Amino acid sequence: MRVGIGFDVHRFGEGRRLILGGVEFDSETGLSGHSDADVLTHAVIDALLGAAALGDIGQHFPDSDERWRDASSLDMLRTAVQLLEGDNYQPVNVDVAVAAEAPPLAPRIGAMRERLAEALRIAPAQVSIKATTAEGLGAIGRGEGIAAWAVALIDRVREPEFPRGAGGA
């Protein structure tokens, strides 16, 4: 088993939809970014990639790649899960903390857990999301953006096969 940590932060921007954990929120402004700027899902992607030592979100989904412009972060998460599977790993669980002054996240946590679980190919009970505020401190506290931290546990699907004479007994 391996553990990874992810962090992401995005500022608010006019003319954008607010997507968190694959769920759209009613909001006058969304988060700025190349994709849908789903800060929560981006933190999960980085945690998974880090656990498997496969780089980071910027390496696999660069903002210079037009394929990812306005892309669903859930599609990016599905791609990250495929990368893990290619390296013989699968997600076991994720735990996410989101810091935002608004909108209220608690009423939508169940829906976010379900969306993430589907993309991760795990049960919603294996996805934890917690919401907090920054108590008015710093950029997050002033309502300038949203930040998220994630921890992911992954496990090897099967042991890698070694060619004859290349290690093992």
**pLDDT tens digits, residue range 41-87?**
999 999 999 999 999 999 999 988 888 888 999 999 999 999 999 99
Dist CA 136 CA 29 (whole Å): 19
pLDDT of res. 25: 96
User: Does the pLDDT at position 157 exceed 70?
Assistant: yes
Q: pLDDT band at residue 93, thresholds of 50, 70 and 90?
A: very high
Do residues 37 and 16 lie in contact, with contact meaning Cβ atoms separated by under 8 Å? Answer: yes
What value does the mean pLDDT take over residues 144-154?
Answer: 98
pLDDT at 46: 98
Which of 108-117, 148-157, 158-167 has the lowest average pLDDT? 158-167
Beta bridge pairs of residue 109: none
* Residue ranges of the binding site: 8-10, 34-35, 42, 56-58, 61-65, 132-135, 142
Residue type, position 94, single letter: V
Whether 131 has a pLDDT exceeding 70, the answer reads: yes
Please compute the mean of the pLDDT values over residues 99-127 and round it to a whole number. Answer: 97
Encoding tokens for residue 52? 């498997």
Domains and CATH numbers, the chain: 2-156 (3.30.1330.50)
Q: Which of 134-138, 144-148, 159-163 has the lowest mean pLDDT?
A: 159-163
Q: Where are the alpha helices (DSSP H) in the chain?
A: 39-51, 57-60, 73-86, 109-120, 138-141
Q: Does the CA dihedral 86-36-128-130 come out positive or negative? A: positive
pTM of the predicted model, to two decimals?
0.91
- Whether residue 103 is preceded by a cis peptide bond, meaning omega within 30 degrees of 0, is yes
Q: Which residues neighbour 19 within 8 Å (Cβ) at sequence distance 6 or greater?
A: 25, 30, 31, 36, 37, 38, 72, 73
Q: Which residues are annotated binding-site positions for a divalent metal cation?
A: 8, 10, 42
Q: What is the pLDDT of residue 66?
A: 85
Cα gap 150→109, rounded to integer Å: 15
pLDDT of residue 33: 92
C-alpha dihedral, 37 to 45 to 125 to 17, nearest 10°: 10
Q: How many CB atoms lie within 10 A of CB 162?
A: 9
Q: Strand 127-132 to strand 145-156: parallel, antiparallel, or no bridges (unpaired)?
A: unpaired
CB 12 within 8 A of CB 29: yes
Instruction: Compute the mean pLDDT over every residue in the chain, rounded to the nearest whole number.
Output: 93
Q: What is the mean pLDDT of residues 102-128?
A: 97
Three-state secondary-structure class, residue 107 = helix
